Amino acid sequence: MKITHNFVQQDLDALIDNAIAWYNSREDVTNERGAITYVSTNTAMEHLTAYGEYLTAGYTLHPTYPVSAGFTNGVGLFGFYVVKPQALRDSDIEAIKAEVEADYRASLKVKYDAHVASIVSESVARAENEAQRKAEQAHEKLVAKAKADAISALGEFHA
């Protein structure tokens, strides 16, 4: 059996890199951390005000996501995407690294426990098979001795 529960730094680094790439491309929504925030408003004035507030807070306009403006049934729909300030992203990334490492170590523990259980199961099965083989041999010896005793007591059969 291949041992898969050893800590490998390169594996952890790859998981962290993947999680960070995912974070950098994802919108920040409830229960999911992301580097991108979508801001939606109903009027052009709210749109410009919100944009100014986000820029003042250190956010930057996303370089490729769209800025949208329009009306549907007389209702204004204005939106834009911003990227979190570097300090917030750094904080998120540190938390992501800690979560990924904890998950990685937990998965190694699960694999380790499964490996231990496999070894225990195999060892117990081997011991039970050996015990059964010995019990069968002991039974055969008892049967042979009992037969020999019966023949000794009755004598050989002659017809």
pLDDT in tens, 7-59: 899 999 999 999 999 999 999 888 889 999 999 999 889 999 999 999 999 99
Q: Is residue 159 part of a domain?
A: no
Q: Is residue 70 part of a domain?
A: yes
Can you give the residue range of the structural domain that contains 148? 9-154
Q: Is residue 4 part of a domain?
A: no
Helix, strand, coil % in the chain, rounded to nearest 5: 60, 15, 20
Domain count, the chain: 1
Tokens describing residue 129: 């098979």
**What is the number of residues in the chain?**
159
Tokens describing residue 56: 């003042």
Q: In one letter, which amino acid is 1?
A: M
Q: Is residue 36 part of a domain?
A: yes
Counts for the chain of helices (H) and strands (E), in that order: 3, 4
Tokens describing residue 113: 């426990």
Q: Is residue 92 part of a domain?
A: yes
Q: Is residue 102 part of a domain?
A: yes
Q: Is residue 147 part of a domain?
A: yes
What is the value of pTM for the model shown? Answer: 0.72
